[in-house]
Amino acid sequence: MKTQMRFQKILSYVTLVIAALCLVFTVSFLTGGMGNVHYYTPLEGGVLNDKINAENFVNASQEFVGTMLILSIVFILVAATLFITASNKRRNYYITNYIAIGVVAAFAIALAVYLFIGVGNVMNLFYNDIAWEAGTNGGKNYADMFNANYPVNKSAANFIIGYALGALVVCTSAVHVLNLVWKIKLMKGEKALLQGGLVKEVA
């Protein structure tokens, strides 16, 4: 049981860190070269001047970031319930512990699904919807959006990080479920030993 209790404590802290990473990823998603695309969809006299067809990308990416911001904050709060219910250190679990772990595991899956779908949608618009040729020397609309004061970068780094983070969140959910199964098994083992009049600890 001691090994499992050490593991559940580590898992609780790791979950909180991963939730915080989701927030960091979200607030930094549109920074740098990719975020600079919005400089090329200016309002001129209150009318959108979208010469590079980036409006769909800008709107989708802002919606994605807005939703992920809310989900990330909620994820942090949900992860905090592991500590509020003492699921990180309790030897025997009660109904509140099962609820907390179940909510964490379920919410993590929901967030990961949205993250995968959102990143995929934004990435598709970024690479396939924007008229990149209109923002280069040959397009005549802008001198060169890749070397301007606000240069655009077509790097896929943010998308790759998003997918990797989503996979990590899924793994976190799975580990919580497996850890709960392990916990229940050990609790049953200890109960059986106590009923048999033994005090030997279940490993």
Domain boundaries, the chain: 2-176
Average pLDDT along the chain: 87
User: pTM (2 decimals)?
Assistant: 0.85
Cα angle: 56, vertex 58, 62; to 5 degrees: 120
Q: What is the pLDDT of residue 14?
A: 98
Q: Is 21 exposed, middle or buried (0-12, 13-18, 19+ CB in 10 A)?
A: middle
Helix, strand or coil for residue 190?
helix
**Of 59-63, 65-69, 111-115, 138-142, minimum mean pLDDT range:** 138-142
**Dihedral-angle region of residue 43 (phi above 0 means left; psi in -120 to 50 means alpha; beta otherwise):** beta
Average pLDDT (118-147) is 76
Average pLDDT (73-85) is 98
Tokens of 45: 């006299």
Residue 139 has pLDDT above 70, yes or no: no
Angstrom distance (rounded) from CA 5 to CA 169:
21
Angstrom distance (rounded) from CA 169 to CA 17:
11
The bridge status of strand 43-44 relative to strand 47-48 is antiparallel
What's the distance, CA 34 to chain centroid?
A: 19
Residue 191 banded pLDDT, cuts 50, 70, 90: confident
- Backbone dihedral angles phi then psi of residue 116, each to the nearest 5 degrees: -60, -50
**Of 31-35, 141-145, 148-152, 193-197, minimum mean pLDDT range:** 141-145
What's the distance, CA 87 to chain centroid?
A: 22
Could you list the beta-strand ranges (E) of the chain. Answer: 43-44, 47-48
Angstrom distance (rounded) from CA 101 to CA 105:
6
Q: What is the pLDDT of residue 84?
A: 97
95 or 132, higher pLDDT: 95
Angstrom distance (rounded) from CA 174 to CA 161:
20
Helix segments in 130-156, DSSP class H: none
- Backbone dihedral angles phi then psi of residue 146, each to the nearest 5 degrees: -90, -10
Q: What is the pLDDT of residue 45?
A: 61
Residues β-bridged to residue 47: 44
